[in-house]
Amino acid sequence: MPLAFAPFEYWILSIISVAGLILLWQQQQSSKYLFTTGFFFGLGYFGVGISWVYFSLHDFGNAHPIVAAGITVLLILWQSLYIALLGLAYAKLLTKFSKSSALLILPVLWFSMEWLKGIVMTGFPWLSLGYSHVSSPLSPWGSWIGAYAISSLSVLYSAAVAVLLTRQLKQNKWLLVLASVLVVLTAVITNIEQTSAQEKSLKITQIQGNIAQEIKWQRNKRQHILDVYWDKTNQHWDSDLIVWPETAIPGRSELIEESVLLPMSMLATEKQTNILFGVLVSDLAKSQYYNSMLMVGENQGMYHKRHLVPFGEYMPFRNILDFLNQYISIPMSDMQSGENQQPLMSVANVKLGVSICYEDVFSRDINQDLPEANILINTSNDAWFGDSLAPHQHLQIAQMRAIETGRPMVRSTNTGISAFINHKGAILKQTQQFQVETLTANVTGRTGQTAFVLIEPYQWLFVVLTSLVFLRRRQNI
């Protein structure tokens, strides 16, 4: 299954792998068997796919190897449990419905499982099945029904493959009809535009500083880091917006305001442009600080990160897990989250929907800025992931957010992969990893609202209604 996702992107494997799981589940109706096979399927799925968590915690978070391994294993087991519980639910279906009816319902159950995975304990929807389809024929559905529902469509095709392999065509004719209708509908919606291009484009430059995580927070390296960014910035004053990535400036705002931030603002104003950069912003009155993006120059603005990373930016269940602080050394592990509703920044009347790192994993976080935002900007410090699968997977997730919202995405990172993504999820330009690079492109903002942005807040209702129908069916039987 991990081969279906970036950087491999053999999306057909997501359909084939789940088809194999369905074939196993069709062999027996034992709850224990379906739970166990689902769990081991999940271990293969997530055991490889999110193994990078260990390297983030150990290599860059300086966590003790046992602690890093323990947290990684627990996360893999937790994610695998969702597939196991899906198997358990499917076993219940098989006792109450015919096999053909259960197959029709399975894609709906998969949707519910992924939705819950993105909600429970703040959510971790990494490797949602739908992400493997950003380059498949199913990708246009993202703007209509979103990544979780694309997962359902993928499972529907997996069920169809399982039916064809077992030659149970007559018993499952409605499933095959539905799969065939989906092919036709996909062809119909592929070229339908739900958002409109603005007349004005912005010339945007991204600076990828490639600052190693090992030196990023060393005070004696701050000037070197600034020199790297200024060297590239000085070559691009003709851009409307210059973007530096998450925490590009290592330090807290009140400590570097006079020495760094004010001169930076004055220079950007003099050059008649804008610089958007990451820095830690302090609220001295509350003794709190935020992971933030600031804009200086002709336009000013500020954004505080809303969705923080567990163990990376805050310690979850602090009253229970606070002892782990002595085993994990992460420089930004006690931050505050920003307000859900924050003013949008803008350049030349083009409004920017800014998010930081992990936030673009959540549709609901990105969609809070819509439909007002015309361009999405996600900044990240993927140096935490090293040379693992994670930066590639993260880029793939950003592609899906662009598809869902019908907005271009500017993805600015410290060590790569930085990219310009169009509103259909296609990567127009991207950097290499672990190199100092700049990317420049004319980005045209878009207006309007996709169907998915409209329905996304009500996905929970679909899950509840499905559960009620299922429960009522059980009572009737």
Residue 384's φ and ψ, nearest 5 degrees, are: -60, -30
Q: Which among 114, 246, 313, 456 is annotated as catalytic?
A: 246
Asked about 357 being catalytic, the answer comes back as yes
Asked about 246 being catalytic, the answer comes back as yes
> d(Cα 306, Cα 300) in Å, to the nearest integer?
19
Q: Pull the structure tokens for residue 377.
A: 């900007």
> d(Cα 410, Cα 374) in Å, to the nearest integer?
11
> d(Cα 413, Cα 206) in Å, to the nearest integer?
8
Please, is 201 exposed, middle or buried when counting C-beta atoms within 10 Å of its C-beta (0-12, 13-18, 19+)?
A: middle
E-strand stretches of 86-136: none
Q: Which among 117, 232, 305, 351 is annotated as catalytic?
A: 305
Q: Which among 114, 271, 357, 404 is annotated as catalytic?
A: 357
**Number of other residues whose CB lies within 10 A of the CB of residue 194:** 18
141 neighbors 147 (Cβ within 8 angstroms): no
Where do we find the tokens 């994610």? 79
Asked about 99 being catalytic, the answer comes back as no
**Number of other residues whose CB lies within 10 A of the CB of residue 164:** 14
79 neighbors 124 (Cβ within 8 angstroms): yes
Q: What is the dihedral of CA 210, 213, 218, 224, to 10 degrees?
A: -10
375-380 and 274-283 as β-strands: parallel, antiparallel, unpaired?
A: unpaired
Please name the helix (run of DSSP H) or strand (run of DSSP E) that holds residue 117, with its range, or none: helix 99-117
What is the SS3 assignment for 124?
A: coil
Q: Pull the structure tokens for residue 176.
A: 């095959």
Cis amide leading into 7 (omega within 30): yes
Residues labelled as active-site residues:
246, 305, 357
